[in-house]
Amino acid sequence: MTMRNIDELDQDLRALVAKTREIPSLPASAKQRLSRRLDLTLSGVVSATPLADPSAARHLPTLRTALLSGVSLVVGIALGLVSANLWTDSDQHLPSTASQHADASVAYADASAKRDTVPTRDAAVGPRDSQAAARPLRKATRRASVATRTARDQRLAHERSLIEMARSALARGDAPAALEATRLHRQAFGRTGQLGEEREALAIQALINTKRFAEARRRAKAFLRKYPRTLLRPLIEKAAAAVR
Amino acid sequence: MTSATHSDATARLAQIFEDEAEFVWRLLRRLGVGAADAEDLTHEVFLTVWRKLESYDTSRPLRPWIAGIAVRICARFRRYARNRYEVLAESVVEHDLTAGAEEQLHAFRLLTEVMQPLDLERRAIFVMHDVEGWSMPELAEALEIPLNTGYSRLRLARKQVAEGIARLRQQGADL
C-alpha cells in the first residue's frame, strides 16, 4: 500500500462532518468588533480590554503605553548588551563553569603554543611540532566554547519569547495571558534569568489590569527594592500610585 | 514600511479580512480554540497577515498561506498549559449557533469530542482535509510539510478519530 492509499472515512464520521460543514460560524457582531479592533491597532491605537473599575481605568491607557514602551526599550538595551557580550571572545563575565573551563583551556592552549614557539636547542621538538600538538586541544576547547554559547543563545531566546508573549498579550488586553507568561518565565528562569527586570515590570502591569491591586503594589515595592536604579522606576512608581 | 505601502497594505488587509475572517475563525474553532479566545487569535492572524503582506508571493493562493499562519498561531497559543485543553462544545451554543440548529450542534459536539485526543499537527490535517475539503498538496503547501508527512498524519488522525467514533458507539451515543 502506498502512502497515498489512505483509509476511507467511517460512514458515521462522514455524516458528522457533513452536518458541521457550515459551523461554527463567525457571529456578525464579532466580525464587526474584530474589524474595528484591526483598524484601531493598525492606526496605532493599542486595543485593550476595558476594565470594570473606572477609577483604575482612568490612569491606565497612558501608563500602559508608557510602560510597554519602557519595557521594550529596556528589553532592547538588555538584548543588545547580552548579544554584544555573546559575540566577544572574552567570556570572563559569564558565570558558567563550563565556559570558564573552556576559556581556561583556550588560555592554556594559547600559552602552550606561545611557549612552544620559543626556539629550543632540542631539534627533535620544534615549534611547528608543538603547534601541531596543541591544535586538537584548541579545536576541542573552541567547540566547547561554541556549544556553551549556543546553549546560552537558546536560553536567552526562550526567555525572550516568554517576555514577548507577555508583552503582546498585554498589548492586546489579555492580562491573564500576560500573567501566565510571566509566571512561566519566573518558573523557568527565576533569579538566574537575564530579563527578570522586564518580567517583573510586565507582571505588575498585568496585575493592575486584572485589578489585583494589593498584589501589584506589593510587587512594585519589591521591584523597586530589587532594582533601585531601573530605567522603569518612574513608570512603576506611577502605576503603583495610580492604584493606591 | 513607508506610509504609502502602509496604507496600501491596510486597504488590502480590509479586503482580505472581509473574505477570509469567517474561514479563519472557523478553522481556529475547529482546531480547538474556545469561542472567547478565537476572537483574539483571529485578530492576531490578521495582524500577522498585514505584517507579512509585503513579502507575500502573490502568485501563490492566499487562503493556504493564511491557514498556515492561523495554524502556527494556534500552536503557539496551545503551548500555554491553560489553553491546552479546549472548552467542550457546550459554550458553542451562545456564540456560534442560532436557535433551531440542535442537530448541527449535536454533531459538532460529537465531532469535537472525537477530535480531542488529536495533537494539533494531526488535527490541523484532519480538519483541513476531511472537514474543510482541502487537497493534500494544498495542505502540504499551507503547513510547509512534505506531502507524505501530510498523508501519514492524516492516516493516524483518521485512525484516532475512528477509535473515538467506536467509543461513542459503545456508549450508545446517537450518531
With contacts defined as CB-CB under 8 Å, which chain A residues touch B158?
6-7, 9
Q: What is the pLDDT of residue A98?
A: 38
Residue A6 maps to a domain? no
3-class DSSP assignment, residue A156? helix
Give residues with Cβ within 8 angstroms of A107, minimum separation 6.
none
Say whether pLDDT at B67 is over 90.
yes
Helices B35-52, A28-42: inter-axial angle, 10-degree rounding: 40
Nearest to A26 among B10, B22, B44 (CB): B22
Residue A13 maps to a domain? no
DSSP secondary structure letter of residue B140: H
Amino acid (one-letter) located at B163: E
Taking alpha carbons only, the member of B7, B12, B27, B17 closest to residue B58 is B12
Q: Spell out the domain ranges in chain B.
A: 3-170
Give residues with Cβ within 8 angstroms of A110, minimum separation 6.
A138
Kindly report the number of other CB atoms within 10 A of residue B116's CB atom: 15
> A50 — phi, psi (to 5°)?
-65, 145
Domains in chain A, number: 1
Distances (CA, A) of A49 to A141, A158, A174, B103, B118: 53, 27, 7, 35, 32
Nearest CA in chain B to A185: B80
Residue A134 maps to a domain? yes
Q: Do B35 and A24 touch (CB under 8 A)?
A: yes
Q: What is the pLDDT of residue B62?
A: 92
Per-residue confidence band for A112, with pLDDT thresholds at 50, 70 and 90: very low
Say which range, A82-91, B28-37, B121-130, B154-163, has the weakest mean pLDDT. A82-91
Q: From CA A207, how far away is CA A210, in angstroms rounded?
A: 5
With contacts defined as CB-CB under 8 Å, which chain A residues touch B31?
none
Q: From CA A40, how far away is CA B22, in angstroms rounded?
A: 20
Q: From CA A31, how far away is CA A39, in angstroms rounded?
A: 12
Nearest to B104 among A23, A27, A180 (CB): A23
Complex ipTM above 0.90?
no
Kindly report the number of other CB atoms within 10 A of residue A240's CB atom: 20
Sign of the CA dihedral A47, B83, B31, B111?
Answer: negative
> pLDDT, tens digit, for every residue of B75-125?
988 876 555 555 444 444 444 555 446 777 788 888 888 898 899 999 999
User: What is the distance in angstroms between the Cα of A228 and the nearest Cα belonging to chain B?
Assistant: 32
Q: From CA A236, how far away is CA A225, in angstroms rounded?
A: 12
Kindly report the average pLDDT of chain A as a whole number. 67
> A233 — phi, psi (to 5°)?
-50, -55
Q: Which domain holds residue A211?
A: 55-242
- Residue B2, all three cell numbers: 513607508
